[in-house]
Structure 1
Amino acid sequence: MKFDLHISSSLTCKLQKKSAILFNTTLMIWKQHTRASTAQQIQNSRPVTMSHSSRRWSVNILTEAMFPGIGLEPVASGRPPRPALGAELVASLPLQMCLYFNILYLPCWSAVLAVVFHAKLDRMDFLNRYIYVTVVVGALLMEAARLYVGYMGSLREDVPDLAGFWLITLLLACPLHGLLLLNRGALQLAPELAVLWPQAVFVTAELVLGYAAARRLAQHQVSKFHAASAARQQQKSE
């Protein structure tokens, strides 16, 4: 009888210990769950903000998509690495932007000139009509070829194309646009003047920027030639 009471008392103690352990574990789990839910509610109540790393990653992705080859990754030395002489980009960004917007503006300019040409052709005398027809047709053909040569020469960093673009701008574009803009005998209309002035601004900007870009590109090509000659001589001496 005493043995049975001892066994029952020992079992009761074990059950009480297990119950206490189970209760404590349950209490700890409930507290952790309560803390996590409270933190989640506080986080949801705050405005959603991106961390610095997330913002930088998003900017990197957008930059690589819009401008391939350009990265914003930090450099160990704190300064961007200087590219080699043969891999350095010397194309003029202002000239490229000016040519790009001029190409977009060209259809509007051509359409207005064609409409105005048809509207006032019968009102001009023979001399002004002959001059106006020659200038308009020459300007339309010249602008398409000039912008193509300048755009491709600037993209490919080709000195002959860029020099040809600058010469066409100086010797053909400036006189033709000057005649279109300053010839008062051509019965100039308001829509015609509205498209001729922006085109004259484009031509003037491309004349200045094209000269600077061609000069810089020519100097870069000369530096590359001298660097390559020095490297070949060094290899022969070794």
Structure 2
Amino acid sequence: MNKNNSKRNIDNLNESQYKASLLLQMLLYCNVYISGTWVMWYGYYLFYNAEDFAKVQKLLTISGFIISVPAEGLRLYLGYSGNLSGKVSDLAGFWIISGLIQLPIHLYLSFTTEGPIILRVATYIILMFLICETPVGFIVSRKLSIYQAQLYHMKLLHSKTNANKNQ
């Protein structure tokens, strides 16, 4: 009887596979398009206005932009793959890049940008997406890790009951 219950629990856990977070997916989807346009606008702005900056501001702004562009691509990729395929490591990478790399860079860029209003609005929108995606990514990562731990424990219990039965 105990074997049948553990087998049913494993089957139920396998059948109720991880469900991707719709909120995180919608945020990532919108962020892909906003990020692409922001990169073009901000690159254009830096190309034509970098001479007007002070030396330190110029160095920090260009460095922040150069670090931010590939980090944003990697962050969005990890968010998509972690959310849709249920990989804890990808979601953890997404969360770490969001909170430790992108958020400080975009805070600096949003507070030092003095360009056209559309550029400032796009920078603030990117910052709002980051502020929303960071806690949502943490919550989704936590739920996924709990699900993976339960699945592991159920499989471990099932393998122990099979080993005891065979002895």
Aligned to 1:94: 23
Aligned to 1:7: none
Which contiguous aligned blocks of 4+ residues in structure 1 show a shift greater than 2 angstroms? Answer: 186-189
Q: Kindly, what percent of the aligned residue pairs are identical?
A: 25
In the aligned structure 2, how far is the partner of 1:231 from the partner of 1:89?
A: 20
2:134 equivalent among 207, 210, 233? 207
8 Å Cα contact 1:124-1:187 kept in structure 2? no
Deviations 1:60-100 (A, max 9, x none): xxxxxxxxxxxxxxxxxxxxxxx821232232111111111
2:81 equivalent among 149, 152, 162? 152
Aligned length: 154
What's the TM-score, normalizing by structure 2? 0.86
Aligned to 2:57: 128
Residue 103 of structure 2 is aligned to residue 179 of structure 1: no
What's the TM-score, normalizing by structure 1? 0.62
Q: CA RMSD in A?
A: 1.4
Deviation at 1:149, TM superposition (A): 1.1
8 Å Cα contact 2:18-2:147 kept in structure 1? no
Instruction: Please identify which structure carries the higher helix content.
Output: 2
1:85 equivalent among 13, 17, 20? 13
8 Å Cα contact 1:98-1:202 kept in structure 2? yes
Aligned to 1:107: 36
In the aligned structure 2, how far is the partner of 1:235 from the partner of 1:141?
A: 49
In the aligned structure 1, how far is the partner of 2:107 from the partner of 2:33?
A: 21
Aligned to 2:143: 216
Deviation at 1:135, TM superposition (A): 0.8
**Larger RCO of the pair (alpha carbons < 8 Å, separation 6+):** 2
In the aligned structure 2, how far is the partner of 1:198 from the partner of 1:187?
A: 16
Deviation at 1:125, TM superposition (A): 1.6
Q: Where does the alignment leave 5 or more consecutive residues of structure 1 unmatched?
A: 1-82
Structure 1 segment 49-68 matched on structure 2, within 5 A: none
1:190 equivalent among 104, 113, 117? 117
Aligned to 1:11: none
Deviations 1:177-199 (A, max 9, x none): 0000112xx53432221111111
Q: Where does the alignment leave 5 or more consecutive residues of structure 2 unmatched?
A: 1-10
In the aligned structure 1, how far is the partner of 2:163 from the partner of 2:53?
A: 72
Residue 158 of structure 2 is aligned to residue 234 of structure 1: no
Deviations 1:22-47 (A, max 9, x none): xxxxxxxxxxxxxxxxxxxxxxxxxx
